[in-house]
Structure 1
Amino acid sequence: MSAPFEAASYLFRSERRVRVLELLAGEPRTPGELAAETDASEKTVRRALGRFEEFGWVRRTGRHYEVTEPGRAVADRAHNLLGTVDAAATLCPVARWLPDSFDVDVGDLADVRVTVPETADTAAPARRMVEVIAEAKTVRAVAFAVAPGAIEATRHSDRADLVLTPEAVTFVADDPELRPQFRTMLAAGWGVRRFDGDLAYNLVVADETVMVGLVNESGAPSGLVESTDEGVREWADEQFEHYHDRAEPLDPERFSE
């Protein structure tokens, strides 16, 4: 076993060891303080600190231990790696349905949330999407399907810009409850356009939150991916502009009585 691999293996075999190094990256601490903050015995903490000293990650200054610059780098990378593993595990149930254009670094998705349909609650992804939209002041969306309650939730935002496929437009225009809601949105000057092309997912940007509604091979909802990561927002902005620029303004007469 190489020295770097041995050091990494030692660190990652214990969540408390990672936590000790992260705490020291914040500020110097005594073994007693570290023991209290990690819920470990002081003996265990001292043993870990001894190994960290061997690796050159920490040094002792009186009663305290402080992290070295190499140790700080290890702490940062350890945090990022664990975040990547956690995000990958969260995305695993829906990863195969993510669009090919979703080229976001998984390591940046520390806050990613995935809502999947359950046997007893197949509408969970759609309901979660509506919950987020209802709290947003601005909404942008590209959609081939309209979730129950989504139009009503969007109508209460300060501004909305929507790009809908012909199927979604027809669904709204033929629904006696949704049609007047849509007329109100159009009368308020909100942007609604029609995209005559293929769309394999629903995209919603509600304030700072990006939501990607996925479907499986049969076209059934397979999950909702949700994140506020800057990289995801940049991707979502690009996708929205791509479809928006290729869409045509919607004729308001389509939603007349």
Structure 2
Amino acid sequence: AALCRGLDSLDVCASGVAPDVIKGIRDAAIEDDAEVEVVMTERALDTIRADPEMRGWFGDVLVAGGRILEHPGHAYLVAACDRLAIVGLNDEAGMPRGLVESTDGDVFDWVSSTHSRCRAEAEPVDESGFAD
């Protein structure tokens, strides 16, 4: 979650849900005024919608102008946090099992292109699903 803070931009493509990370994404959008775009699987978004606190955090992201999109499915995490690239792998339950951080330009470019591909395959969420 600390990796989400103090950024100008945060682009995430994820299939798992960790409440502290969802809160960090919210804080980046609201408190840091970062440009936020999150692409998540339907399963992950359903988990967030079912939890009042996390649902509210994503509602805050949307109100702040962040984008949340639903992807048909992937089993990994990629995030571009300014110039830091994050790559993670999840198990079949969507829980993170490994995480790599890199400032290498080639890794960052791969993460950015993977996020762009995920975005192109995704659909914007119905914002009413995150309203209180």
TM-score relative to the length of structure 2? 0.87
After superposition, the C-alpha distances for 1:149-208 in whole angstroms (9 at most, x for unaligned) are 1122112221100101001111111111111111111111111111113x1111111111
* Matching residue's letter, 2:44: A
Gaps of 5+ in 1: 1-129
Tell me how many residue pairs correspond in the alignment: 127
Question: Runs ≥4 in structure 1, deviation > 2 angstroms?
Answer: 134-137, 215-222
Match of 2:43 in 1: 167
Deviation at 1:137, TM superposition (A): 2.7
Larger Rg: 1
Identify which of 85, 100, 108 aligns with 1:225: 100
Deviation at 1:218, TM superposition (A): 7.3
Distance 1:161 1:190 in 2: 6
Distance 1:165 1:240 in 2: 13
Aligned positions of 1:173-212 closer than 5 A: 173-197=49-73, 199-212=74-87
* Matching residue's letter, 1:182: F
Distance 2:95 2:57 in 1: 26
* Distance change (3 Å), C-alpha of 1:181 and 1:221: closer
Gaps of 5+ in 2: 29-33
State the identity as a percent: 32
| Residue 6 of structure 2 corresponds to residue 135 of structure 1 | yes
**Higher relative contact order at CA 8 Å, sep ≥6: structure 1 or structure 2?**
2
- Greater percentage in helix: 1
* Distance change (3 Å), C-alpha of 1:225 and 1:192: same
Distance 2:95 2:45 in 1: 19
Measured on the aligned residues, the alpha-carbon RMSD in Å equals: 1.7
Aligned positions of 1:116-131 closer than 5 A: 130-131=1-2
Match of 1:41 in 2: none
Distance 2:59 2:101 in 1: 29
* Distance change (3 Å), C-alpha of 1:217 and 1:156: closer
| Residue 18 of structure 2 corresponds to residue 147 of structure 1 | yes
* Matching residue's letter, 1:238: S
